[in-house]
Amino acid sequence: MLAKPRSPDQALAHGVWVKWIGGASNQDLPAIQDLAGIYALAGVHCLDVAADPAVVAAARRGIAWAADHGAERPWLMVSLSDGADPHFRKAWFDPAHCPAECPRPCERVCPAQAIGVPATGQAGVLTERCYGCGRCLPSCPLGLIEERDHQLTSAAVAPLLAALRPDAVELHTRLGRGEAFAQRVEQLRASGVPLKRLAVSCGLEPAVGERATPLPVSPSELAAELWHRFAVLRAAGYRPLWQLDGRPMSGDVGAGTAHAAVNLAMAVAAQSPPGPLQLAGGTNAHSLAVLERQGSKGTVVRGVAFGGVARSLLQPLLQQAQERGRTLLADASLWPQALALAEGLVRPWLALERR
């Protein structure tokens, strides 16, 4: 039995913070509403979705459903970027160029069922469902699938934020993009929206074109860049949350990916600026065990975010609901199963201090 749920800020302070990631470019509204509702009811402290009015409205409907079922309202966070970033891409190909005899490996590897079935007349990428995980890109034997970037213009940021009024923002950045980061922060500030946190998402990849030899980048270099971001946030009056992308956009749920996220956090922690540190990228059901083996539960790492694994876990139930012509939240025979699965992923983190 869990104790009384903690507020998002308390969860960060106690190292039991859990965030659900809907995807910075995911516009699959029925799935977002369903997943937001289920994970909010499972007890996550924050829902992180695309900075898109329809997506935010879908997430808020999910939150309202969860609140009606007794959940605490989590923070709503929206994701932005200060430059090109795989989180803000979508896959694209022209199905007219696909040979009729192709066994369609692209369709099979897509975790979001975003690549249409020819029999339905939708053989290409269904843009609203694609969240840019990248799994399909190498799957095409003819190399037909390309990635397309979806980013806001500078002028669009402040009015969009003022319209969405989220509780928090996640800003994806990369090494070498300090100036672009500062500009985005200024645009956020211009919106006048008070933010409870500004989460900075960064991994070890440098900005595209920043280096002749892009890898490897060391954890020390990453920590130095985080200190720069910290100075920008402090000057703007924002409180940071550091999100370390161990393996960005992995879409992977295997045990091995958990190590990348934990190892990066452990390597950077001693040198990172003030503010809570959260695992992301490659996180899954094994992350906590990996963290515990390293001897750090809530001490170094203050929380976790689940994206691909959270969706994959519930995908069969989402599919069943879709086949029944209703949402998961509207199906009383399905949503309790979804909730049990979501709780299985989330509750070990929520219960950390009580072990």
The answer to whether 310 contacts ligand SF4 (rule: CB under 6 A) is no
Least Cα distance to 344 among 291, 286, 299 occurs for 286
The yes or no reply on residue 318 touching ligand SF4 (CB under 6 A) is: no
| Closest-CA residue to 52 (of 151, 124, 197) | 151
The one among 44, 49, 133, 164 contacting ligand SF4 by CB under 6 A: 133
CA gyration radius, the chain? 20
Q: Would you count residue 268 as binding ligand SF4 (CB under 6 A)?
A: no
**For the purposes of burial, counting CB atoms within 10 Å of the CB of 299, is it exposed (0-12), middle (13-18) or buried (19 or more)?**
exposed
- Tracing tokens 């490659």 back to the chain, one arrives at 282
Q: In 3D, which of 53, 206, 26, 176 has the Cα closest to residue 111?
A: 26
**Binders of ligand SF4 in range 134-193 (CB under 6 A):** 134-136, 139-140, 142, 144-145
Minimum distance between the CB of residue 34 and ligand SF4, rounded to whole angstroms?
17
Side-chain-facing half-sphere of 292: CA atoms under 13 Å: 10
Q: Does 312 bind ligand SF4 (CB under 6 A)?
A: no
Instruction: Kindly tell me which of 23 and 74 has the beta carbon lying closer to ligand SF4.
Output: 23
Longest dimension (CA), the chain: 58
Find all residues with CB under 8 Å of 11, minimum gap 6, and list them: 17, 18, 45, 303
Asked whether position 98 contacts ligand SF4 by CB under 6 A, the answer is yes
Q: What whole-number distance in Å separates Cα of residue 353 and Cα of residue 68?
A: 27
The reply on whether position 125 binds ligand SF4 by CB under 6 A is yes
For the bound state, the minimum distance from the C-beta of residue 231 to ligand SF4, rounded and expressed in Å, comes to 35
Q: How far is the CB of 136 from ligand SF4 (least distance, A)?
A: 3
Stretch that binds ligand SF4, among 72-80, 98-106, 207-215, 269-277 (CB under 6 A): 98-106
Does the CA dihedral 160-304-136-344 come out positive or negative?
negative
Does residue 105 touch ligand SF4 according to CB under 6 A? Answer: yes
* 314 makes contact with ligand SF4 (CB under 6 A): no
> Backbone phi, then psi, for 167, in 5-degree steps?
-80, -30
Tell me how many residues contact ligand SF4 (CB under 6 A): 25
- For ligand SF4, the closer CB: 110 or 352: 110
Residue 131 in the binding site for ligand SF4 (CB under 6 A): yes
Per CB under 6 A, 102 contacts ligand SF4: yes
Interacting residues with ligand SF4 (CB under 6 A) = 91, 93, 98, 102, 104-106, 109-110, 112, 114-115, 125, 130-136, 139-140, 142, 144-145
